[in-house]
Amino acid sequence: MDIRLNDILRMKKAHPCGCADWVVLRVGADFRLRCRGCGHEVFGPRSRFERNVKAVLRDDDAPA
């Protein structure tokens, strides 16, 4: 799965705050994500997050 820094991941299940969108802060073998609703940050293995992703939202018009 092609996930890049600053992508927004829409997860299958919402966070307890009600928001299902997360911003990618770190990529690699592990991900660090921040909830767009409450700002809570989580860190964990890539495999755990990739299977829960519903959609990857990205602005392709932005310069790399």
The string of pLDDT tens digits covering residues 24-55 is 999 999 999 999 999 999 999 999 999 999 99
| Containing structural domain, residue 31 | 8-57
Tell me how far apart the terminal alpha carbons of the chain are, to the nearest angstrom. 18
User: Dihedrals φ, ψ of 61, to 5°?
Assistant: -80, -15
- Please list the residues that pair with 22 across neighbouring strands: 9, 35
- Per-residue confidence at 61, pLDDT binned at 50, 70, 90? very low
Domains of the chain: total: 1
**Token pair recorded at residue 54:** 């519903």
Mean pLDDT, the chain, rounded, equals 90
1, part of any domain:
no
pTM, rounded to two decimals? 0.86
64: in domain: no
Return d(Cα 23, Cα 60) in angstroms, integer.
15
